[in-house]
Amino acid sequence: MSKYIEIKLDEMTEFLESLGFILHKRDPKTEWVANKIFESNNNTYLIRIYTSINPEERSRGVGTDAIRVGVFSSNGEWIFGTKRVNRTKNWKKSIESRIKELENRLIKQNTKIDETIRDIIQV
């Protein structure tokens, strides 16, 4: 099993900004989050990463929380998320993998919806 590592805000910011995310604090008492708009088939989504970095700009302690990646609809409703990202040496690779997973799932989901609509129209 991989060993926990502390992730600092500046390292997380540099990495996520390179992927097109914008970091901010939701409020003074909660963790930093990163947001990115993702569009697929004329639908707009918000991909959000809960960084597990606290307001003091340090990652939470061992076993207290993991990094989470999820998707919200354009009206702010939670759609789905991925499995957690542990704070280990491979955290960057894991986050990139989870983002790709979400994007692919959204594209596939929209394709299925479009196919269903076409089937209904042709009937």
What does the block give as tokens for 89?
């040496």
Residue type, 21: F
User: For 54-75, how does the pLDDT look when each residue is reduced to its tens digit (9 = 90+)?
Assistant: 877 666 656 556 899 999 988 8
Distances (CA, A) of 71 to 44, 47, 112: 10, 5, 18
* pLDDT, tens digit, 9 for 90 and up, residues 21-57: 999 987 777 889 999 999 988 888 999 999 988 877 6
d(CA 64, CA 22): 24
> Of residues 50 and 87, which shows the higher confidence score?
50
Longest CA–CA separation in the chain, Å: 59
pTM: 0.83
Task: Dump pLDDT digits (tens) for 7-31.
Answer: 889 999 999 999 999 999 877 778 8
Among the residues of the chain, which ranges form H helices?
9-18, 91-122
